[in-house]
């Protein structure tokens, strides 16, 4: 017996645009190719997982992990407005079946930042029929896959833009009212302005236009209702980004303001869901004057984030207490070239989750970010968050010791935590 429930999901996560390669119908692909594109390099072939998913899933399963979170690319399913591709749907069905053949539970994300270029051109989430269009896509996918998929995440980090605003990384700009015109150019400008922050393109825009944010809320509710009408037993939620927001003396008000603006409105909706997806990597500490930068640390992430694995246990507890529904860790991990540091970090983060469970939090699973070294949005391929290294020329996969370690932890349902040699 360990602290972790018997049916705990132990997995790794990916996102279509970051690993598939040649996702040419997506808005972000278009942004990658504008003049002075604000990306270190384009996504290009990425990890070629579009063709190599079977190997990826096999490596995940052989390590001992039992869950794979991946996303479906709306722009492949509906490359032009109203044109649905059965062939692409079959591609994702093959992925699902590959999971099931290995006794791996698929957890499927329906939107991981990217949207079809046509949807972006028409105004993205600001257009009046945004929620209708999203629901239509969701219905198409879920009608086909519901007998084999029972875990659905509607949106990945719909609060990414809200977080950037609340934490001061993205100043409110005059472009806010100008959504329809020059959509593509503007998205690129947003990304430049927030320098280095992933995923801003599709999700910053709703924040800048409140009506669009409302559309995303509606889209989540409508997608949830659609999924439940097709598959009443399905488990539906969305994944919310949350740092462990802490207050130094006198910083309580600022800390609370960030939570109230960028996290709580999203957790409100989770109250009606089956779970709340928790995505935590680090903490942010606030004083009376604002954010207090972290001390430089040898363990720091390649992304520059503070090494603070205890963050996850804290946010899991906060998310489940606030929403009243179980938490599912849908992302947690570290960008580092030092795989031992990845094991140390993940082990400590999981101890935090175990403590949260010990204090009464209901937690359904831990899904690590990420399975493969991939295309990390603005930063290109340099940020190695993966449990598996990928050769940029041959796409050869090389599992890192951390994959075997995490798989070993999974096989013992957490019993091996604290040891660095749990590998199968």
Q: Residues interacting with ligand BGC, by CB under 6 A?
A: 15, 156-157, 198-199, 241, 279, 331, 369, 376
| Interatomic CA distance for residues 183 and 296, integer angstroms | 38
> CB of 129: closest distance to ligand BGC in angstroms?
26
Sequence-ordered strand ranges (E) for 54-210: 67-71, 105-111, 151-156
Which residues, 6+ apart, have CB-to-CB distance to 23 below 8 Å?
16, 17, 29, 43, 46, 73, 75, 76, 114
> CB of 156: closest distance to ligand BGC in angstroms?
5
Name the residue whose CB lies closest to ligand BGC: 198
> CB of 258: closest distance to ligand BGC in angstroms?
16
Question: What is the pairing mode between strands 290-292 and 67-71?
Answer: unpaired
- Whether 307 and 294 have beta carbons less than 8 Å apart is answered as no
Residue number with CB closer to ligand BGC (144 or 376): 376
Residues belonging to the active site: 157
| Interatomic CA distance for residues 361 and 353, integer angstroms | 9
Q: By three-state DSSP, how is residue 283 classified?
A: strand
Residue number with CB closer to ligand BGC (157 or 339): 157
Residue 33, token pair as written in the block: 């190719």
> CB of 288: closest distance to ligand BGC in angstroms?
28
Other Cβ atoms less than 10 A from the Cβ of 320: the count is 25
> CB of 376: closest distance to ligand BGC in angstroms?
5
Residue number with CB closer to ligand BGC (15 or 65): 15
- Sign of the Cα torsion 229, 230, 235, 236 reads negative
Q: By three-state DSSP, how is residue 160 classified?
A: helix
Residue number with CB closer to ligand BGC (157 or 244): 157
Residue number with CB closer to ligand BGC (369 or 405): 369
| Interatomic CA distance for residues 260 and 153, integer angstroms | 23
Three-state secondary structure along 99-122? HHHCCCEEEEEEECCCCEHHHHHC
Sequence-ordered strand ranges (E) for 44-182: 67-71, 105-111, 151-156
> CB of 277: closest distance to ligand BGC in angstroms?
10
Share in percent of the chain as helix, strand, coil (round to 5): 45, 15, 40
Direct distance between the N- and C-terminal alpha carbons of the chain, in angstroms, rounded to an integer: 19
> CB of 182: closest distance to ligand BGC in angstroms?
26
Residue number with CB closer to ligand BGC (4 or 369): 369
Q: Count CA atoms closer than 13 A to 373's CA, side-chain side.
A: 24
> CB of 402: closest distance to ligand BGC in angstroms?
16
Which residues, 6+ apart, have CB-to-CB distance to 264 below 8 Å?
322
**Could you tell me the strand order of the sheet in which 283-287 lies?**
244-247, 283-287, 290-292
| Distance set, CA 2 to CA 7, 61, 71, 310 (Å) | 12, 21, 31, 19
Residue number with CB closer to ligand BGC (17 or 417): 17
| Interatomic CA distance for residues 300 and 305, integer angstroms | 6
Tokens 């994300």 locate to: 109
Residue number with CB closer to ligand BGC (383 or 406): 383
């Amino acid at each position: 017996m360990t602290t972790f429930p018997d049916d705990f999901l132990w997995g790794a996560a990916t996102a279509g645009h970051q690993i598939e390669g040649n996702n040419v119908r997506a808005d972000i692909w278009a942004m990658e190719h504008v003049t002075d594109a604000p990306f270190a390099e384009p996504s290009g072939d990425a990890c070629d997982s579009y063709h190599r998913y079977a190997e990826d899933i096999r490596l995940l399963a052989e390590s001992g992990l039992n869950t794979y979170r991946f996303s479906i690319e709306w722009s492949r399913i509906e490359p032009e407005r109203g044109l649905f591709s059965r062939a692409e749907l079959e591609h994702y069905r093959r992925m699902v079946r590959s999971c099931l053949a290995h006794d791996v539970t698929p957890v499927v994300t329906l939107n991981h930042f990217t949207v079809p270029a046509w949807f972006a051109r028409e105004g993205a989430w600001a257009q009046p029929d945004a929620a209708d269009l999203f629901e239509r896509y969701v219905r198409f996918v879920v009608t086909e896959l519901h007998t084999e998929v029972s875990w659905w995440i509607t949106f990945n980090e719909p609060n990414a833009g809200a977080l950037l605003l609340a934490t001061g990384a993205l100043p409110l700009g005059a472009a806010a009212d100008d959504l329809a015109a020059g959509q593509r150019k503007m998205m690129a400008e947003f990304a430049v302005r927030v320098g280095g922050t992933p995923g801003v393109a599709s999700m910053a825009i709703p924040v800048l236009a409140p009506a669009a944010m409302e559309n995303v809320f509606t889209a989540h509710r409508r997608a949830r209702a659609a999924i439940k009408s097709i598959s009443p037993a399905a488990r539906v939620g969305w994944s919310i980004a949350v740092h462990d927001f802490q207050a130094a003396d006198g910083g309580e008000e600022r800390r609370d303001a960030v939570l109230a603006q960028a996290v709580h409105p999203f957790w409100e909706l989770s109250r009606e869901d089956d779970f709340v997806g928790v995505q935590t990597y680090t903490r942010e500490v606030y004083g009376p004057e604002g954010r207090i930068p972290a001390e430089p640390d040898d363990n720091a992430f390649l992304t520059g984030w503070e090494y603070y694995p205890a963050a996850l246990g804290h946010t899991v507890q906060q998310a489940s207490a606030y929403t009243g529904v179980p938490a599912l860790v849908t992302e947690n991990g570290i960008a580092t070239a030092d795989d031992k540091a990845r094991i140390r970090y993940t082990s400590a983060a999981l101890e935090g989750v175990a403590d949260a469970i010990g204090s009464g939090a209901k937690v359904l699973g831990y899904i690590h970010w990420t399975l493969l070294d991939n295309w990390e949005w603005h930063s290109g391929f340099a940020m190695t968050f993966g449990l598996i290294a990928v050769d940029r020329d041959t796409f050869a996969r090389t599992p890192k010791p951390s994959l075997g370690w995490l798989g070993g932890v999974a096989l013992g349902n957490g019993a091996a935590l604290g040891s660095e040699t749990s590998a199968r």
